[in-house]
Amino acid sequence: MPPRHDIIAACAFGLESVVVRELADLGYEAKPVSTGRVLFQGDDAAIARCNLWLRAADRVLVRVGHFPAPDFDALFEGVKALRIEEWIGPHAAFPVNGRSVRSQLSSVPAVQRATKRALVDRLMSAHRVSSLPETGPAVTLEISLLDNAASLTIDTSGQGLHKRGYRPIVGDAALKETLAAGLVLLSAWRPHRPLVDPFCGTGTIAIEAAMIGRRIAPGMHRTFDAQHWPRIPATVWNDAIEEARAALAPPMPFAIHGSDIDPRALALARRAAQAAGVERDIHFHQRPVESLTSSVEYGCIITNPPYGVRMGESDEIDHLYRALPLVFRRLPTWSFHVLTGRLDLEELMGQPASRRRKLYNAQIECTYFTFLGPKPPSMRRTREEVESPDEPAPGKPGHDAPDALDTPDTRGTPPRDAIDPFSEHDETLTHAHSADAHTHEHHPRRPHTTNPDAPAFGGLRERDERELADFASCLAKNARHLRRWPARGITCYRVYDRDQVDVPLIIDRYEDYVHVAQYEREHSRTYAQQADWIDAARAIIARTLETPPEKVFIKDKPRQRGLTQHERIDERGVTIVAHEGGLKFEVNLSDYIDTGLFLDHRNTRDMVRKGARGARMLNLFCYTGSFSVYAAAGGAQSTTSVDLSNTYLDWAQRNFVLNGLWSPSHRLVRSDAIEFLASHPRAERYDLAVVDPPTFSNSKSTQEDWEVGQRHTELFERLIPLMSPGGVIFFSNNYRRFKLDEEALAALGIASCVEISRRTVPEDFRNKRIHRCWRMVIREP
């Protein structure tokens, strides 16, 4: 029987269990003995086969001896007692590396020197020579001390096993080949399933996956130190190489796809794929992740996106990661595996992962997040199969992973280059803590669903479907109630006003377009589920209101917290001309939370028009000038529209032009309202004023922020002296906690102040507190 050796497969932190599974597939029973060390026994053929076949291991080491070494004497004698001459000839070079962890002998150089002296003594005596020239093949040794115990190992690999021979040039932030292979082996991917890496860079993940799928031994294109040692016959290596050649599998049913936005990285990827012999198995594309889509089912994403640590800026990376769920939801049957240094990935993506595993990419601490989609139908077992008494329990000896498919378990062909990611009993994903086993963090599958067919990202729950069905019924009822409004000349109106608590939408019709504001409300949907929910709502709205989906514009309307205000949200500039009260207004459906025409003031605008004939009209906080246009149409002698925004003033002018009302008697003034009033000539008076301020506003051009609750009295102190006796002020705001200081107004010269909100809020608004409005009359002298 060939001699047996203690062999150690060295690997990166976190990949120990992957290497154990690889060794099992090669026929060797192994166990992790420490972080990054997997021990098994094998003969000379095992050394050759493991160097050729191990994908996730860094090196294959032979452990020559293991002994206590509390001091230098014990170290020297322990090394000298080992039969090292069986491995190192009289002419061989034998450099010694060292390391020491939690040991009394903490000086690594001193440990290396003592080990070297012991080796020289042993070899000179064993080979009966007086000198060791070290001119022959290298046999690299390592003396390793851990807790005062020494291990002497021989490196059979030479260069690290990640040196496959297909990558002469390493790209920026390139992933190590052994880590890339480990990611593939930890994933749900099998060679019969589609695979995409949308951040492929120089293609390492795609190439390693293709080599796994084609059963190409990763060491086929390189040599190893042990090939040059007389200790291992050349026939052993020749047999292992022939075995590897015979194991080559035919092309996979689906080409692997890799994409990136960097053309230089893609050029390196194509060159490396050709060198690895898998150029026909991979298609590389230059495209952003946002364009990712596929009509093929049950595929896998395995990817290593930028972290913002070495390659990108934090804000850009945050935006990228937040967008991923919206991309991944397009692939409802796929599973997703993401290695990243952003340990807050789950928070950024808005949902927990099915699994998490701590790994290191170079010196960067990372987590490998797995988001499992549904199993392909061919990988599911019936209840009878699962409960069969003749089948060993999952995780027990003799149990094959339930989704290990179509790969023959024959000598020389690694039968299963993958760990079953679906198995709840997979030993690589447990919490077990021991001195001999590395531990990995585990996260349960998403808690909000028990549906095995649920997609990893997105999808509608039964609760969501019930809510949307009720919403569809409610919206149809509202639409039937309002169906005659266009015939009455009202073509812009509210169709749905958060009628159902669980569907917090505001739906307004503008001609044959629909504008939807989604109010912020707590819910248990993930980001991707929320996007699918919105898509479903859009389809219901389009169908019920008989509007093409592309004419339905949906926006998020976050709750205003404290002194916040809404900002511009888009740049598409989708505008239409809306009709109201016989007038025309430009409405922007895409770029802002609001459209430029507040429908809740339809009645108020009509009141202003009816009272505008011959009046000098002032419109403070004029926005897009709709009140001013109504006043001009009602025969106002002049209008003065004041706003801080040039954008809104230009918009107001376009509204005047649309109605053929633009003339020198209508002024547009860019100014803060209070500053405008403070500098206004006292001799110039107004007969009609509209004051419809925002709750809060700030600007770099003003010294103070505007808060309606705090500063409305100050505004009226400056406005009332500019009003003519008997003049009318329409004052409105939508601040829920607003309290009008009527006593102060009476002292300033207000003869009457009547709240008219019941008359100004239109009947299509279910929320009767959408605004509050007062009509004030200036005291006669």
pLDDT in tens, 106-136: 999 999 999 999 999 999 999 999 999 999 9
pLDDT given for residue 500 in this prediction: 93
Residues with Cβ within 8 Å of 236's Cβ and at least 6 positions away in sequence, in order, are 44, 45, 47, 48
In this prediction, residue 419 carries a pLDDT of 42
| pLDDT value at 399 more than 60 | no
Distance from C-alpha of 60 to C-alpha of 225, rounded to nearest angstrom: 11
H/E segment holding residue 313: none
- Of 154-168, 555-569, 577-591, give the lowest mean pLDDT range: 555-569
* 680 vs 640: CA distance, rounded Å: 12
Query: Rounded to an integer, what distance in angstroms lies between the CA atom of residue 30 and that of residue 427?
Result: 13
Contacts of range 482-491, beta carbons closer than 8 Å, 24 or more positions apart:
482/764, 485/764, 489/579, 489/581, 489/582, 490/580, 490/602, 491/578, 491/579, 491/580
Q: What confidence tens digit (pLDDT) does each residue in 233-273 have? A: 999 999 999 999 999 999 999 999 999 999 999 999 999 99
Measure CA of the first residue to CA of the last residue in the chain; give whole Å: 122
pLDDT at 444: 38
DSSP 8-state secondary structure symbol assigned to residue 169: S
What's residue 422's pLDDT? 42
* Rounded distance between C-alpha atoms, residue 528 and residue 538, angstroms: 15
Write out the two tokens for 23.
């060794």
Crossing angle for the helix pair 204-213 and 177-185, to the nearest 10 degrees: 60
Question: Whose structure tokens read 């601490």?
Answer: 365
Mean pLDDT of 137-143: 96
**pLDDT at 393 exceeding the cut of 90:** no
> What pLDDT band is residue 521 in, cutting at 50, 70 and 90?
confident
Name the E strands within 601-714. Answer: 616-620, 638-643, 666-670, 686-691, 696-697, 706-707
Determine the average pLDDT of the residues in 285-312: 89
Are 510 and 599 contacting, i.e. CB atoms less than 8 angstroms apart?
no
Pairing of the two strands 492-497 and 505-510: antiparallel
State residue 388's pLDDT score.
38
Whole-number Å distance between alpha carbons of 23 and 38: 9
Structural element, H or E, at residue 21: helix 16-26
Higher pLDDT, 711 or 389: 711
Q: What is the pLDDT of residue 411?
A: 30
State mean pLDDT over 316-326: 93
pLDDT at 172: 61
Question: Which of the pair, 712 or 145, is modelled with greater confidence?
Answer: 145
Is the pLDDT at 192 greater than 70, yes or no? yes
| pLDDT score of 229 more than 70 | yes
List pLDDT tens digits, range 658-698. Answer: 999 999 999 999 999 999 999 999 889 999 999 999 887 77
pLDDT value of position 314: 79
Segment 434-438 shows an average pLDDT of 33
Query: CB neighbours of 34 closer than 8 A, spacing ≥ 6?
Result: 146, 436, 438
Residue 569 pLDDT: 76
Q: Give residue 741's pLDDT band: very low, low, confident or very high (50, 70, 90).
A: confident
**Residue 447: CB atoms within 10 Å:** 9
- Rounded to whole angstroms, what are the CA distances from 441 to 84, 354, 358, 679? 40, 11, 7, 67
Element housing 587 (H / E) = strand 583-588
pLDDT (0 to 100) of residue 124? 97
Alpha-carbon distance of 464 to 479, in angstroms, equals: 22
- Backbone dihedral angles phi then psi of residue 68, each to the nearest 5 degrees: -70, 140
Separation of alpha carbons 582 and 561, rounded Å = 38
With a cut of 90, say whether residue 3 has pLDDT above it: no
Instruction: Give the length of the chain.
Output: 781
Q: Which tokens sit at 394?
A: 């999952």
Helix (H, G, I), strand (E, B) or coil at 67: strand
Which residues have C-beta within 8 Å of that of residue 459, sequence separation ≥ 6? Answer: 329, 332, 449, 528, 529, 532
Alpha carbon dihedral 540, 541, 545, 546, in 10-degree steps, equals -60
Q: Band of the pLDDT at 406, cuts 50, 70, 90?
A: very low
User: At 38, phi and psi to the nearest 5?
Assistant: -120, 120
Percentage of the chain lying above the pLDDT 90 cut: 78
Residue 92, pLDDT > 70, answer yes
Mean pLDDT, to the nearest integer, of 368-393? 64
Residue 69: what are its φ and ψ, rounded to 5°? -145, 70
d(CA 353, CA 771): 44
Number of neighbours of residue 422 by Cβ within 10 angstroms: 21
| Per-residue pLDDT at 389 exceeds 60 | no
Residue 564: what pLDDT? 41
User: How far apart are alpha carbons 28 and 46 in whole angstroms?
Assistant: 8
| Confidence at 781, pLDDT banded by 50, 70, 90 | confident
User: Above 60 in pLDDT, residue 421?
Assistant: no
141-154 core/surface letters (b: 16 or more CB in 10 A; e: else) = bbbbbbebebbbbb
**What does the pLDDT read at residue 392?**
32
Asked whether 42 and 156 are in contact (CB, 8 A), the reply is: no
> pLDDT for 451-482, tens place per residue?
778 999 999 999 999 999 999 999 999 999 99
pLDDT tens readout for residues 609-636: 999 999 999 999 999 999 999 999 999 9
- Cα separation of 111 and 100, whole Å? 9
C-alpha 655/C-alpha 553 separation (Å) is 22
Residue 423 is predicted with a pLDDT of: 41
* 1 vs 162: which has the higher pLDDT: 162
What single-letter amino acid sits at 512? Answer: D
What pLDDT shows up at residue 1? 66
pTM as predicted: 0.81
- Asked if the model's pLDDT at residue 401 lies above 70, the reply is no
Please list, in sequence order, all residues whose beta carbon lies within 8 angstroms of the beta carbon of residue 242, skipping any fewer than 6 positions away: none
**Percent of the chain topping pLDDT 70:** 88
Instruction: Tell me the backbone φ, ψ of residue 288, rounded to 5 degrees.
Output: -80, 160
Which range among 42-56, 298-312, 383-397, 551-565 shows the weakest confidence by mean pLDDT? 383-397
Confidence of residue 424 (pLDDT cuts 50, 70, 90): very low
Phi first, then psi: give them for residue 505, nearest 5 degrees: -110, 145
- Distance separating alpha carbons of residues 186 and 680, to the nearest angstrom: 74
Q: What is the pLDDT of residue 308?
A: 78
Residue 736 burial (10 A CB sphere; 0-12, 13-18, 19+) = exposed
Q: How many CA atoms lie within 13 A of 307 on its CB side?
A: 22
Which distant-in-sequence residues (6+ apart) come within 8 Å of 319 by Cβ? Answer: none
Q: What is the mean pLDDT of the chain?
A: 88
Q: Is the dihedral of CA 681, 687, 690, 691 positive or negative?
A: positive
| pLDDT tens-digit readout, 570-602 | 888 899 999 999 999 999 999 988 999 999 999
